[in-house]
């Protein structure tokens, strides 16, 4: 079985931000069978940094895939990807989290055609969003209301979702 190791830079002194990402991965893994599998943690013996052990996405991220396969990306495949992504995003919202950084580089694909949301580093609950005054994420995917310094909402995630396929 192939796995991916996500290095958590600066994790020698584990912060609440890292613990939030770990908890989100764990909760999403438990709540949705099609989510990117989170197997656990390990520690790099050389750097002492923690690493997440995740399911390996054979086809990489959507951004790289589209850059080399755009003309071959069939509508039926687009619909499969949309459904997988919508399921993951819905599960995240049911857990009470906003994603806040949904873009084609954070959508991973496996060999069987599944699409998975990854990298929950900027996700958080609505309470955490209201206290955060910074705009974070990839500019073309950020909802207009967020750019106008309004709080992130579920609608902000939906805007980002459609930017990937619109």
Domain segments of the chain: what residues? 3-163
Band of the pLDDT at 141, cuts 50, 70, 90?
very high
What integer best gives the mean pLDDT of the chain? 80
pLDDT at 131: 47
pLDDT at 41 over 90: no
pLDDT digits (tens, 9 = 90+) for 76-108: 888 887 887 888 788 888 878 788 888 888 888
> Could you tell me which of 24, 45, 145 has the C-alpha nearest to residue 91?
24
Q: Quick check: 14 pLDDT over 50?
A: yes
Report the pLDDT value the prediction gives residue 32, as an integer from 0 to 100.
64
pLDDT of residue 15 exceeding 80, the answer is no
Instruction: Compute the average pLDDT of residues 14-20.
Output: 70
pLDDT at 21: 67
Question: What token pair was written down for 38?
Answer: 């989170």
Q: Does the pLDDT value for residue 3 go beyond 90?
A: yes
pTM of the model: 0.75
pLDDT on residue 130: 44
Band (pLDDT 50/70/90 cuts) for residue 145 is very high
To the question of domain 3-163 being in CATH 1.10.510.10, the answer is yes
Contacts of 137 (CB under 8 A, 6+ apart): 100, 101, 102, 103, 122, 160
More confident residue, 121 or 37: 37
Pairing relationship of beta strands 38-43 and 50-55 according to DSSP bridges: antiparallel
């Amino acid at each position: 079985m192939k796995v991916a190791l996500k290095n958590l830079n600066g994790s020698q002194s584990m912060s609440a931000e890292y613990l939030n990402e770990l908890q989100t991965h764990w909760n999403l893994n438990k709540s949705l069978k099609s989510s990117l599998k989170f197997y656990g943690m390990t520690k790099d013996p050389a750097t002492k940094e923690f690493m997440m052990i995740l399911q390996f996405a054979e086809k990489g991220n959507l951004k790289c895939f589209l850059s080399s396969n755009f003309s071959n990306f069939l509508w039926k495949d687009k619909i499969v990807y949309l459904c997988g992504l919508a399921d993951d995003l819905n599960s995240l919202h049911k857990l009470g989290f906003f994603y806040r950084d949904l873009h084609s580089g954070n959508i991973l694909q496996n060999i069987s055609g599944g699409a998975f949301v990854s990298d929950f580093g900027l996700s958080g609950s609505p309470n955490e969003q209201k206290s955060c005054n910074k705009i974070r994420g990839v500019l073309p995917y950020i909802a207009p209301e967020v750019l106008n310094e309004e709080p992130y909402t579920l609608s902000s995630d939906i805007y980002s979702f459609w930017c990937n396929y619109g």
